Structures are given as structure tokens and as C-alpha cells.
Chains A and B, each alone.
Chain A
């Protein structure tokens, strides 16, 4: 048989001498088809020996096979021992069986041939290559063409068994095979997954008792879904598409199934139970299972979190945190700054995170801020009282920052001391402490997740697990600070260019994934903002727009930003010591800056330069952010918080400093001195901020548990859909009118749709609000109740109130007092409250179209996030793969090799792989290590 052009074969005399005839077939002909084509040419009654061009029988192989058939009359098929063509000591196949569920299992594949399996005689099936089929049954035992290249030998064995024949192993008959022949499984991972899965499903339909076939058929789609989940957890996203393709193909081939079944029926004489003894049992399967232990090749780079002192640093941070925020231990909720309570129930938290009616404003239906999802996750951690989760976040912020910093440092250094230094310096970042003291939850969360983003994204090209983790963390980070999107996008592009320039195409594919969840969660919001014509609004800080302290958009402000401080009070120094002393405080950052700059000349300069680029990207983001005023609170513009950009910049600075300390400062004393100077300077710098709460300089306050008066809170308890109209006379004589749903204004309910609005959103309440305060006589309670409003609260501006605002407020109180149907509940510290004597209309049910949109968007977002989550779940195999290579990214051959015993292996491995220096954020050549195949070993079904 020649598949393709047979001209050469026809003219060859050597071929002509040895063959009876030449059959020319189409190039794509499968092995089973070829056998079928050649069968009529073979004389009746002769046995058939199946060979392909890649099979090289050893001398006497045919004699041994024929002898086996002669020796045992019950044998219908004799199977040889297949060995690697280039390494004849390694077995490719010696007998195949299947599990009770029909999965094919190789009995000896991949093992070194030491004769350990030579005693085996009776098997269920064998690889189709090289088998000798007895002439009497060869018409019945034809390879099934529907199997498409996999499990054909196993199928023949099963059918022969059912017909009363046996498959005998003939280990003495050896045949060398190449892995890429026409009868072997495809080399391509996807094709192989398709072929094996299709063969398995087809055999299941062919072997099953007739009544159960429809049930099997029905079970295929759910099974495919189930297996997709496991493919993702097993970090094999490439197997997902073949899985579905195989499932759909197997389900569609009714005639092939019928043909296979009739062929079995016509030959079957024995019962199905006759093959049961030859199936592999669970016990044997477990014995055969290779869990991959030891595959690290001795290059295990352990984390040493406990032995390296990382745990002690975190513990110390817990103590510092408790000492600094002692009063928080007794607080049930946190207030002040940009902090608000959370919803009272977890359900409401998640409703806020989904597309639908927003928790503020009248009839504002649209996408949620992704940050609402982060808040929902945070609140769900303490389901009984979600607001307390924020208190816990504040208490654990310092230790979590140190922990994150420590883990991020493992990507740069193996030295235990430097890792601890990295963790502590990350936790003492001035921008982080400012965010803690000023009560900025989004900025605090961002600073906590950024090191993990660094930790995962730096190796996203290496493994799917890291890419999955990076994708989730990136979505969270951007949800907390959308203003970082341009900088992150730029860094991602640089990473892509580096990966592609080095030809790591698999790494590039993995690097594509991390941005996808972030794009998907932001897409609805971005589309809405685009429709409203202002894409800038997508960069607005989520949560409450708060007119808090932050530097101005001028040179002086940018100077402060360049020194790492996002506020003019320099992390509380100005308030504590006055501007005279505070002017020198930026000098405390200088040691870090110098260390970071030195990374450009350090031996690992590639990583150093990349980290400096990260620092610059963050810094320039902060520079730009202070000049972008797109959020408003009661008509007052609020610029983007520049501290988020500074967090990114700090990541670059800390990373670059660690590169310098790890590779450039080789004298231990010099390194120690540098660490002490830089660390102590930052500790001193942090003192005013860490003592701010005790000395009353922080805006953090105990609660309130609701921003509305207790009467409303009690009435709307359990997040009932009761709306309160909040009117605030402004200092310029204007009036801010807002609607709050539920028992309190909450963090998750805030929406940038309203915070960034340049035109009224939803139902415009403005005219109604003004008419309430005007002398006009109308049925005000009824009109308000029709919108679902039950309460009217007249609030006072925060800070000094102007005469105009005060006069307006007093006249408003008078006007509302005089309205019929307005029952004054009382004057509280949160304003004057009236209750409406009117039947409140049920809150607007979303329309059918809105419900459909909401379901679609939520489904898509959950689907993508689920994929990311499944990819991110660590498995034993993925952890082993991570251990198998250096944790450090971007090693350069120029850097000095550390002499510590444990590091030697790492360094050698790294030097071999890293022929060229490379940036830290980006891929390394470690792709060549066996990491890709690693996860497969835990799942033998994917192996041949």
C-alpha cells in the first residue's frame, strides 16, 4: 500500500522484487482503510501481518509470531513486543487492556525492557502495529475504520475474545517502531486527544448492550462538560476543544456504530463476561499509575516559607498591625474616608455585583463595577456581618502585604533575608500606609493583590496554572484600580514582544489568557460608557468618590508623587511635624531609589531594566491620574487616586532593589548595610502613619453601620428594597439629590455609572426634589412613593457649611415640614428625616429584555471566571512542576553563582536554560523543561 504518489515505489526494483503488488491510495488514507483496501488482494486463508512503513521487524519476528499462533490453537491474534526505534531498550507497547469503563490502558508502555513482562501471555488486546491475524478469522477481524486511528488493536482483541479466540503476546517477536508512523497515534496533542477520545466513545456505543445505547448517547454531553472541568484543573486547556469535537463526532456517527455493532454480533460466540478477567482492575491501575514523583530531576526549589523566616515576618506584621489598629478589634464596622458599610446579606452583595438595577439612583439599570464583585467576595468571607470583613481586611492588611511581598520576592531572590526584606518593604510603602490611614479600600486591596499578580504573571508563560492565577488576580487588580489598565496593557505588550521574539509560542499562547477575564468583566461597563460617549469614565476609581487629601496636578504635586507620597501630608508627617521637617522626609525613600537605579547595571540587568520600566509605568500613571477628574461627589469633581499608580511603581522599585541586592552587592557586609539603611529609613518613614489612629489623626471611625438614620436602617433591615431620597444643600446654593436603596449606602452598591455621570442617569429626580422644597402644592408623597421612595433625608454638607447652604437647608426643613403626608421622624446626626404616608410602589421589576441581558452577561462572566479559577487551582502535578525549576525569573549567565549547597542545582539549571539574559516579568527558557508534560502524568487516560 502506498498512500500518495506511488511513482517512486513502482519504478524501484527492490520494491518490485519483494512485493506482490502496489496499491496507490489517497494521501490521507488511514491505516484501517489501507488494510481494508489491500485485503481483497490477499489469498484466502492466509494470515495477515499488519506492518507500516515505520515498523521494522527484528529478525525472526514473523517466525515467532507464527509460532505463537501454531502453538496455541485458540489464539486468533499474535502480538509482538513494540520497542522504540532509536532506543530498543524501551517498550512502546506490549499488550493493551481496558478498564471496566472501557478506557484503554497500555500495560507496559514507556518502561525499560528488562524482560519483566515477558512471562505475560494472555492479554485483552495489543497495539495494532505488527500483529499477526490468523487466516481463518481475518475476514471477521478487520480493523474498525470508525476508530480513526486509536484503539484499533484493542478493538480487534475484544472482538476476537468474544468470538472465542485469544490474543497471545509474543515478547520474543520484537518490532521497532517510530512514534510518527501512520498506524501510531497522532503526534499533535490535540489530534491525539481527539483520536483517543473518539475511539473510546465509539467503542462504548459499540460494546454497550442495546437497551443502554441511548442512555450512553445521552450521557456524552454531560460527560464532556465534566471532563472539560478536569482538563482545566489538569492544566490541559488544549484538550478541551478535541474533547467536544470527539463527543459531537461520536454522537453523530449512527451508521458507523450500527456497523461496528453488527460486526461484533455476527462474530460473537462468548458472553461479555468472558473478557472481564482481562480487564485491568482498580488495584492494578493504581499500581501502574505514575504519579510523577521524582520527575523534578533533583532541581527541586523549595519555597522555604517557614524555614526561611517568611512566617516570622508575617507574624511580626500581625503584631505591628494589631498595635497600630488596636481599636479596630472592637469595631463592628469601619467608616471614614472612602469607606462605607457593606450590605447586610450576602445575597444583596452579589446582586450588587451582577448586571441589573444599581443600589443607588432611581431606575438606573446597567452593568456593575467589577469592584462590586471584589466587595462581594470580601463580604462573603464573613457572611454573618459582611461589614466586619472590612475591619478584618484592615487588621490583616499589613501582614497580608508582607506575605504578598515575600512571595513576590521569591521571583527575584533565593536569599531568605532578602525575601523578608522584600515583604517588609512592600508592607511599608508610603502609598499603602496612606491608603490605610485615609480609608481607601480599593487602594488597599490593590496593594494586597499586586505582589500576587507579580508572582503569578512573571511565570504565566511557564504554566497554565500560573496563567490562570494571573488572569484572576489581574481582573481583581484592575477592578480595584482601573486607572492601571494602560500601564498593565503596556507591560503585557512588552512581555508579548519578548516572548514572541524568543520564539516561545506556547508561552505566548499562555500569556494571552491573563488579560481575557479582565476584558470580559470590564466589557459591559466599557460598552455602556462608550455608548454614553466618554470612555475616560472607565478609568474612574470604583467605590465612593471621596474628596480626600491628594496631591494637586502641578509640578509640586508630581514631585511628591515621584517621591512615593500620594498626599501632601506625606503619610502624616506634615500633620505631625509641620511642613519644615516634612520637607526632608522624601529623603527616606532615596536609599530604595538608588538601589533600584543600580539594578540597571547589576549582572541581572535584564530583569532590573524591566522592573525599572514597571516603576516608570506606575509613576507615569500616577502623574496622569491626578490630572483626570472624571468622578463627582455631589457636583464636586474628584481626581483619580494617584496612589494606585504609586503601588505599581513601588512594585518596580522594590523588585529592582532586590535585583541589585541579590546580584550586584556581592559582599555580605555591604549587602547587609544596604538592607539595614533602606529598611530602617522606611520604618522611620512609616511611624507617623502607623500611630495615626492612636493619636486621632486618622479619618477611620467606628462604623457607622449605616449611613442613614437608625429608623431607616431598622425599617429596611435585611436589605429590603426601600429607597431614601437624600437631599443635600450645597455650599454654592445648589442641591444634591440622590437615592439610596436599602438600609445604608454601601460600598458595593456604588456605581461609576452615577459617580462619573455628566448627565442625569435613570429617572431624573431633580424637578421632583426642587418641587418638594418649593411652595407648589401637589401630592408629593404619592409621586415619591411611585418611585419606591419611603423616606426623605435632608443632609448637611461635609465640612464647613456656607450661609447659602444653611439658609437653603433651613428653608427646606420648613418646606418639608409643611408638606402634607410628610411625617417628621426626627433630627438625627445624619440629617433630618421624614417618612412618607403613602403606599410605596413595589420596586421596578426589570423588563424581560433587561433580565435576558443580565442573565447573558452574568453567564458569560461566570463562565470565563470559572475557566480561570479551574486553571488556577493547584494540583499535585502543577506544584511539582513549579518546584522543578528555579522560582527566580530572568536569571542571567553573568551573575555570580551563589555557593549555598541548595542553590547550586538551581543555578546550574538556570544557567543552562538561560542562554541569554531576560527580563523578570517575562518568560524564561524553562519551557524546555518537562513542565508541559508534567500534568499529564497524573492522568494516564490521556496517555497512550
Chain B
């Protein structure tokens, strides 16, 4: 009996000891497993990169410079103040030109035109066109120029003004065959939104003041459903009674984290009155934008500063203390922004101004047309880390020239008016066309052609 109980005690002791060890191993094992890194298995999802097949190239031109309120009895009526000069060229195909209705425009002259380069065998037919106008009458004075552009479903019009003396008009052209339902969202201290319907093959215009009354520095987002539209902002400024410039402003690109402006001109001393102003809007969330200004020809930083931005509220900053010349401006932010740069020849009567929108990056060949106007130049900006060579080939006359743009630098190249070019580059470049004369200022960025469609990642 004693022996039996002794065995039992030993057995129980062994059991307790083993059990305690097992429990301790469990706890230690789990603790170690929590602390130690575990291997992971990551797979890449099925994805297919598809480059959209190009279709016909459709460019919409404005046709007429609109004058608002010429008739005192009907202040919202618009009439044509003059026709744009059109410069058109195509590389392989000639453009078909058709015209749009402009029912709200008085005067038979000045029907806006649509240029179509018909794609064949799934290869696009690149065409390029631009238009310019120079006015000097009692109501309007100055130079306005813009490219003819493709319609899009979303446009950002940055440089609107509704102060006294300004006469800004949003011009919306629908080259499509169905109605476009267009929403105008105005960003300012308060946002407003309205909708209008643009019938097919029609151009309509609305005064900006009707949508953005009382707003400082309004920024307008134009979204179209049903059919893409071309939206531009036509501006005219009058100081007291003297005309003080006209401009036609194209859509800025989609909101992005980095904006690059090519061809920002400083043509007057901005010490007393600002002549160069950057307007920005953070579309999504508040952020801080870093602005870097570089002079053409050198890669040196002329100015660099940071600007805090609130979500959905436009902000203006002066770019003063700059020597006369051509500059590139880079803006970097942590959340998407849009922006444009206002340039002026001064505040005296008879002066002119122009808004410059951001220049998208160009990697492939692109066509552009230089309109008639005073001393046109092409400003090429390379914000990459390597030198690039840009080749400008005239389409109408067989000649070409190479321009080397240093890393981080830019170059301004004079081109003859009324010429069409093909721009080829060895690396990503941002480019703008500028026209500069006495009290005449215009400019716009060069956009990639329709055939340079971005590949889309599809997750099947």
C-alpha cells in the first residue's frame, strides 16, 4: 500500500511537472510567435495594361471674340468683336473643317469651327491648330491667343475675375452629336453650382459674373455629361474707361500634385503693382504648396517659397522682384491642386495681360501650330535630372532644329508666326508657346496630341 501511494505521488509529481512545462512552452511559443516576423505571401493581382485605340482627332476653335453688353438695352447679349486668325496644319491628313452654331452670338460672322482629323486603320491623324486675335478699339485692346483643343469631360478654368471692369465669359462648345449636360462648379470662399444643357454642335456662352457674383478669385470646374465639351474663359479688362487687355484662357489640366508652368513672362517691373500672380486651388484637401521659380536659360532658382492652402479655397500669391524675362514655375503639393499664372504688361491703359496654365509633360511627338502674332517663342522646360534634346521640325517647310535643354533648366526658342511644328524629344519636357509684344501678351502650354493616349491598367 505504501509503495503504491509512493508511486502515485511520484506519478502525480511527474504529471504536474510535465504539465507546467507544457503550459510554459505554450505561453512562450505564442509570445515568440507574436514578436518574431512571419513570412508573408503577396501575389500581384491580374492586370492588363491597355492603350486605348485612338479615334478621330477633333479640335474645337472659338471662332469669334465675344463682346458682352454692347447693347445697353440687352446687357447679356453678346456680339462678335472680331474673328480669330486660324493657323491649321496636319501631318498626314488635312483637317475637315465644319462649323458650330452660336445662337447667342449676334452677327453672322464668327462661327466657331471644328477641325476633324479622321483616323484611318486605328491610327490617329494628328492635326494642330491655334488662333489669335489682336484688338485695339475703344472697348477692347490687346492680344489673345489660344490653341484649338479637344473637348473633354472635365475642365478647370482658373483665372476668372468678376470685379468691376472685367468682362469674363465662359464659352462652352459641344462638337458632339448629343446634348451635353454641363455642370459649372465655382470655387471661392463659398461654392456654387449650376447646370446647363448645351445642344449638339452648338457653342454657348455665359458671363462668369452670373455664376460667381461677388467671389474673389473664382475658380470654375466644368464637367460635362452626355458629350465632352470644350470650355474656355474669355477675359477682357477695362481700367476706368481704357481697355486694359484681353485674354483667352484654356482649361488647366486635371488636379495634380506637381504643376509645371512654362513660358511665364515678366515684361514689366512688378515693384509697385504686381505684374505676375500665381493662383492656386487645392481641390481635395488642405495642403502646403512649394513654389519654385526659375529663369529661362539657367537652372538657378530665382524664388522659392511655401504657400498654405485650404481645401477648395483659391489663393493668390505675387511673384514679384523678378527681373524681366521668361520663367518656369514649379508647384509641388501633397494633395492635388490646380493653378494658373497671371502676367501683365502693367496697369496703365492699353496694357495687356495673359493667363498661363500648367504645361503637361510631353514624352511623345506632338504637333503644335504657332498663330500669327508678335515675336512668338517656344519655352521648353526640363525638370528632369538629365539633359534632353528637343527637335522642332517645321511641317509646312522642311527644316528642323535641335535644342538642348539642360537638366533642371529651360530654353526659349524663337519661331516664326503662322508656322506648324512637330516637337520630338529625347526625354520628358514641358513646353509653352508665348507671344510677346508691346502691350501684347499671350501664351499657352503645348498639350500632348490625341494619339498619345495613356495606357489604362485594367483589373479583369
Q: Which residues of A contact B (CB under 8 A)?
A: 361, 534, 536-537, 553, 555, 558-559, 562, 597-598, 600-603, 605, 608-609, 612, 615-616, 619-620, 623-624, 627-630, 632, 634-637, 730, 732-738, 756-761, 764-767, 769-771, 773-777, 803-804, 807, 810-811, 813-814, 817-818, 894
Interface contact A818-B227, CB-CB below 8 Å: yes
B333 → chain A, closest Cβ, in Å? 13
Q: How far is the CB of A490 from chain B (nearest CB, A)?
A: 15
Task: Point out the residue from A558, A637, A765, A766 that lies within 8 Å of B34, measured CB to CB.
Answer: A558
A616 / chain B contacts, CB cutoff of 8 Å:
26, 29-30
Contact present for B19 and A608 (CB under 8 Å): yes
Residue contact B39 to A734, C-beta cutoff 8 Å: no
Task: Show 13 residue pairs from A and B whose CB-CB distance is below 8 angstroms, ordered by the A residue.
Answer: A558-B38, A562-B34, A609-B19, A616-B26, A627-B38, A627-B39, A627-B41, A735-B456, A756-B43, A761-B46, A761-B460, A807-B254, A811-B228
B40 to chain A, nearest CB (A): 4
A856: shortest Cβ distance to chain B, in Å?
A: 29
Closest to A827 in B: B225
Task: Answer yes or no: B240 CB below 8 A from chain A CBs.
Answer: no
Docked-complex contact B458 and A558, CB < 8 angstroms: no
Partner of A894, one of B12, B29, B54, B283: B12
How far is A553 from B34 in the complex, measured between Cα atoms in Å?
10
Enumerate chain A residues within 8 angstroms of B50, measured Cβ to Cβ.
Answer: 766-767, 769-770
Q: Does B226 contact A (CB under 8 A)?
A: yes
Known interface pairs A601-B15, A818-B227; 6 further A-B residue pairs with C-beta atoms within 8 A, sorted by A's residue number = A627-B39, A770-B51, A774-B453, A803-B336, A807-B254, A810-B223
The 3 closest A-B pairs by CB, nearest first: A775-B55, A601-B19, A774-B52
Contact of A733 among B44, B47, B457 (CB under 8 A): B457
A764–B45 CB distance below 8 A: no
Q: Which residues of A contact B226 (CB under 8 A)?
A: 814, 817-818
Cβ of B210 under 8 Å from chain A: no
* A537: B residues at CB distance < 8 A: 43
Partner of A534, one of B11, B43, B227: B43
Report the bound CA distance from A616 to B28 in whole Å: 12
| Interface residue B412 (Cβ < 8 Å from any Cβ of A) | no
Q: In the complex the two chains form, what is the Cα distance from A765 to B459 in whole Å?
A: 10
Which chain A residue has the least Cβ–Cβ distance from B56? A775
CB distance from B99 to the nearest CB of A (A): 20
The reply to whether A629 and B43 form a contact with Cβ atoms under 8 Å apart is: yes
A776 touches B52 (CB 8 A): yes
Is A817 in contact with B30, judged by CB distance below 8 angstroms?
Answer: no
Which one of B39, B53, B178 has the highest number of Cβ atoms from chain A below 10 Å of its Cβ? B53
**How close is B158's CB to chain A, nearest CB, in angstroms?**
16
User: Would you call B47 and A734 a contact (CB within 8 A)?
Assistant: yes
Question: How far is B18's CA from A770's CA once the two chains are assembled, in angstroms?
Answer: 66
The minimal Cβ–Cβ distance linking B23 to chain A, given in whole angstroms, is: 4
Closest residue of A by beta carbon distance from B283: A803
A-B pairs under 8 A by CB, number: 186
A637 to B40, CA, bound (A): 13
Are the C-beta atoms of A597 and B178 separated by less than 8 Å? Answer: no
Is the CB–CB distance between A818 and B22 below 8 Å?
no
* Any A CB within 8 A of the CB of B33: yes
How far apart are the CA atoms of A608 and B22 in the complex, in Å? 10
Q: Is B16 an interface residue (CB 8 A)?
A: yes
Contact B29 A737 (CB under 8 A): no
Report whether A605 and B45 are in contact in the complex, using a CB–CB cutoff of 8 Å.
no
Q: Which residues of A lie under 8 Å from residue B224 when comparing CB positions?
A: 810, 814
Minimum distance in angstroms from A103 CB to a CB of chain B = 55
Name which residue of chain A comes closest to B39, CB basis.
Answer: A627
Asked whether A736 and B225 contact (CB < 8 A) given A558-B38, A758-B46, the answer is: no
- The verdict on A817 contacting B55 (CB below 8 Å), with A637-B42, A735-B459 known, is no
A616 to B33, CA, bound (A): 11
A818 touches B23 (CB 8 A): no
Q: Of residues 334 to 389 in B, which have CB atoms within 8 Å of A's CB atoms? A: 336
- Residues in B whose Cβ lies below 8 Å from that of A811: 152-154, 228
Q: Is B177 an interface residue (CB 8 A)?
A: yes
Interface centre among B43, B177, B223 (most CB of A within 10 A): B43
Question: Pick the contact of B54 from A562, A619, A629, A774 — CB < 8 Å?
Answer: A774
Whether B438 sits at the interface, judged by CB under 8 Å, is no
Report the separation of the CA atoms of residues A321 and B6 in the bound assembly, to the nearest whole angstrom. Answer: 54
With known contacts A602-B19, A628-B41, A803-B255, A818–B176 Cβ distance under 8 A: yes
| Residue in B closest to A727 when the chains form the complex, CB atoms | B458
On whether the beta carbons of A632 and B53 are closer than 8 Å, the reply is: no
* A803 contacts B178, C-beta separation under 8 Å: no
- Chain A residues, Cβ within 8 Å of B38: 553, 558, 623-624, 627
Instruction: Give bound CA distance, A635 to B54, whole Å.
Output: 26
- CB neighbours (8 Å) of A761 from chain B are 46, 460
- Nearest Cβ on chain A to B410's Cβ, whole angstroms: 28
Q: Which residues of B contact A609 (CB under 8 A)?
A: 19, 22
In the bound complex, residues from chain A placing their C-beta under 8 Å from that of B459 are 632, 634-635, 730, 734-737
Q: How far is the CB of B97 from chain A (nearest CB, A)?
A: 19
B190 at the interface (CB under 8 A from A): no
Within 8 A of A (CB), among B32-75: 33-35, 38-48, 50-56
Cβ of B323 under 8 Å from chain A: no
Residues of B within 8 A of A770 (CB): 50-52, 456, 458
Complex Cα–Cα for A605 and B458 (A): 57
> How far is A139 from B113 in the complex, measured between Cα atoms in Å?
121
B27: Cβ under 8 A from any A Cβ: yes
A773 and B52 form a contact (CB under 8 A): yes
Alpha-carbon separation in the docked complex, A756 to B44 (Å):
9
Shortest CB-to-CB span from A702 to chain B, Å, is: 30
Complex CA distance for A499 and B350, rounded to whole angstroms:
103
Per the bound structure, the CA–CA distance linking A20 and B283 in Å amounts to 119
Per the bound structure, the CA–CA distance linking A733 and B454 in Å amounts to 10
- Please judge, given known A-B contacts A536-B41, A807-B154, whether A734 and B223 are in contact too, CB under 8 Å: no
- Check if B40 sits within 8 Å of A894, measured CB to CB: no
Contacts of B43 in A (CB 8 A): 534, 536-537, 629-630, 632, 637, 756, 758
In whole Å, how far is B281's beta carbon from the nearest beta carbon of chain A?
12
B20 at the interface (CB under 8 A from A): yes
- In the assembled complex, which residues on chain A have CB atoms less than 8 Å from the CB atom of B241? none
Closest to A609 in B: B22
Question: B253 to nearest A CB, angstroms?
Answer: 10
Chain B hits for A534, CB < 8 A = 43
Of B18, B225, B254, the contact of A814 (CB 8 Å cutoff):
B225
- On whether the beta carbons of B33 and A774 are closer than 8 Å, the reply is no
- Complex: how many Å from CA A751 to CA B48? 20
Kindly state the separation between the CA atoms of A115 and B43 in the bound complex, as whole angstroms.
Answer: 81
Query: B45: which of A600, A632, A769, A803 is its contact (CB, 8 Å)?
Result: A632
Q: Is the CB of A757 within 8 A of B225?
A: no
**Closest partner residue, chain B, to A537 (CB atom):** B43
Residues of A within 8 A of B55 (CB): 774-777
Taking a contact as CB atoms under 8 Å apart, the answer to whether B456 and A605 are in contact is no
Determine whether the beta carbon of A775 is less than 8 Å from that of B54: yes
Q: Which residue of A lies closest to B8 (CB)?
A: A894
A-chain residues with CB within 8 Å of residue B23 when the two chains form the complex: 597-598, 600-601, 612
Residues of chain B within 8 A (CB-CB) of A807 are 153-154, 254
**Interface residue from B26, B30, B53, B460 paired with A766 (Cβ < 8 Å):** B460
Nearest residue in A to B35 (C-beta to C-beta)?
A555
Do B26 and A597 touch (CB < 8 A)?
Answer: yes
Which residues of B in the span 68-126 have a Cβ within 8 Å of any Cβ on A? 122
CA distance A87 to B232 in the complex (A): 113
Please, which residues of chain A bring their CB within 8 A of the CB of B48? 760, 764, 766-767
Query: In the assembly, what is the distance between CA of A811 and CA of B153, in Å?
Result: 5
Distance between B193 CB and nearest chain A CB, rounded to angstroms: 14
A664 (CB) vs chain B CBs: closest residue: B19
A761 and B459 CA atoms in complex are apart in Å by 11
Cβ distance B455 to chain A, nearest Cβ, rounded Å: 9
Distance (whole angstroms) from the CB of A20 to the closest CB of chain B = 64
CB distance from A808 to the nearest CB of B (A): 8
Query: Judging by beta carbons under 8 Å apart, are B41 and A629 in contact?
Result: yes
CB pair A737 B456 closer than 8 Å: no
Within 8 A of A (CB), among B273-295: 283-284
- In the complex, what distance in Å separates the CA atom of A155 from the CA atom of B22? 66
